[in-house]
Amino acid sequence: MKTNQTVLIAGASGLVGTAAANSFIKAGWHVIACSRRFPELIDAGPFQYLALDLQDDEACKAATAKLNDVTHVVYTAVFELPGLVQGWSDPVQIETNGRMIRNLLDPLTDHAQLSHVTILQGTKAYGITQGPIRIPARESQPRVDHPNFYWVQEDYIKEKSASSGFDFTIFRPQLIVGPNHGVVMNLPPVIGIYAALRRAEGLAFGFPGGLDGVWEAVDTRLVGDACLWAATQDQAGGQTYNLTNGEVFSWLDMWPAMADTLGVPMGDPEPTPLSVYIPEREALWRQVVAKYNLQKIPLAQLLGESHFYADLCFAYGAKRTPSPTFVSTVKIRQAGFNAAYDTQASFCFWLHDLQHRRIIPIYDRG
């Protein structure tokens, strides 16, 4: 079904941006995909690409002057510092992310009649970097005040929506699972590369983390569909929603299924810092790429900052079982969005996708 609505996806080459673009394209929207690098995984249909660095305010002014047809924005762009986790409270990271959204929306609202803007947060909003959080974390609970760019963007979007007359929705997804490599937080490429390196060394594929806990995740396709839902539902205006697949999981329980998907032998847990292990084996990875005719993408470009994220999610070095970070999704379900995914199937689906795109090997099972 075609529509006369136009959505600008900021950060379109990232996990959520790619998924959101595909969801809107499938629904018949005109999609403008905005990112510094071409979003190669947008594959649902034709779209317009806008190469733009959101840190360049003059470039943003020039670009937005030509975007008067834009009616909706899904803002998924994010700036992270090298090493990832240490930068989350850094004033530079916070200021840069606040400036980027202003660079886009301030001039855009001078030219376009926006109806709705979606922005993304996450469970850091509930203070997971500060200590244990309330279980389940609900959108209605008081703000946990700590250095975080979420609050800078949230305060801005509330003020800007009031002055410019558009609605907004804020999503707080859990650990997001999808196809993108070279991004700041996506585990399937890291898991697949780790498995391939272990096999190349003649070693089994054991869980590399610390003490296992119970987790939640969300498939990037669900997040993309939620962005489409929010853009078309009046009840989503001015609201914040948590997003998960709808179930919990354990890494140790899920590891055998991923080993089977990847075609590697399952091993016992072996705590390993992937942020160190993988980069140290760059030469070995080049051998794997050559042997299995994989895409010749530099290892650093495959990883992004996601190997640091893996150490965090796998609780490498943790002295105790990680505190649970469960969030309630009752609010969005009662509002009418009820999508759900099997988390194990999500991870295995995206590992298969990486294999078929020749990012990681497919092994002969004969």
CA 65: distance to chain centroid?
Answer: 29
Q: In this structure, is residue 123 part of a structural domain?
A: yes
Q: Residue 1 above 70 pLDDT? A: no
**pLDDT at 83 (0 to 100):** 66
C-alpha torsion angle, residues 323, 344, 82, 207 (rounded to 10):
70
For the stretch 57-74, pLDDT in tens is 999 999 999 999 999 999
Same domain for 158 and 199, yes or no, is no
pLDDT, position 2: 60
Q: Which of 226, 243, 260 is the last residue of a domain?
A: 243
Q: What pLDDT sits at residue 69?
A: 97
Percent above pLDDT 70 for the chain: 98
Based on the domain organization, do 58 and 15 belong to the same domain? yes
| CATH code of residue 118 | 3.40.50.720
137-157, pLDDT tens digit by residue? 999 999 988 888 999 999 999
Q: What is the mean pLDDT of residues 297-312?
A: 95
Dump pLDDT digits (tens) for 122-139: 998 998 778 888 999 999
Average pLDDT over residues 77-96: 79
15 falls within a domain: yes
For residue 361, is it within any domain? Answer: no
Do 188 and 46 belong together in one domain?
Answer: no
Whole-number average pLDDT of the chain: 95
Tell me whether residue 332 is in a domain.
Answer: no
Tell me whether residue 70 is in a domain: yes
**pLDDT value at residue 87:** 63
Q: Is the pLDDT of residue 321 over 60?
A: yes
- What pLDDT does residue 201 have? 98
Same domain? For 134 and 80 the reply is: yes
- Within-domain flag for 103: yes
User: Which range of residues forms the domain containing residue 285?
Assistant: 179-216+248-324+343-356
- Say whether both 210 and 226 belong to one domain: no
Q: For 26-30, 60-64, 147-151, 164-168, which range has the lowest pLDDT when averaged over its residues?
A: 147-151
Q: How far apart are CA 51 and CA 166, in angstroms?
A: 25
Pair 156, 110 in one domain: yes
Residue in this structure with the two tokens 């801005």, named with its chain if needed: 156
Residues 209 and 63 in one domain: no
- Residues 302-320 have a mean pLDDT of 93
In angstroms, the CA 11 to CA 20 distance is: 10
Could you tell me the sign of the dihedral formed by the alpha carbons of 27, 29, 32, 34, in that order?
negative
Q: Which residues pair with 215 in a beta bridge?
A: 249
Q: For residue 224, count other CB atoms closer than 10 A to its CB.
A: 27
Q: Are residues 288 and 164 in the same domain?
A: no
Mean pLDDT for 230-257 is: 98
Residue 329 lies in a domain: no
Measured CA distances, 243 to 171, 217, 329 (Å): 7, 9, 6
Q: What pLDDT does 43 receive?
A: 93
Distance, in Å, from the CA atom of 68 to the CA atom of 47, rounded to the nearest integer, reads: 17
- Say if residue 189 is in the same domain as residue 238: no
On whether residue 117 sits in a domain, the answer given is yes
Same domain, 206 and 82: no
Domains in the chain, number: 2
Which of 225, 243, 261 is the last residue before a domain boundary? 243
Tell me: the pLDDT tens digits for 190-226? 999 999 999 999 999 999 999 889 999 999 999 999 9
The percentage of the chain sitting over the pLDDT mark of 90, rounded to a whole number, equals 87
* Integer Cα distance of 235 and 216 in angstroms: 26
The predicted structure's pLDDT at residue 183 = 93
- Same-domain check for residues 234 and 268: no
Same domain? For 190 and 57 the reply is no
Helix-, strand-, coil-residue percentages of the chain, each rounded to 5: 45, 15, 45
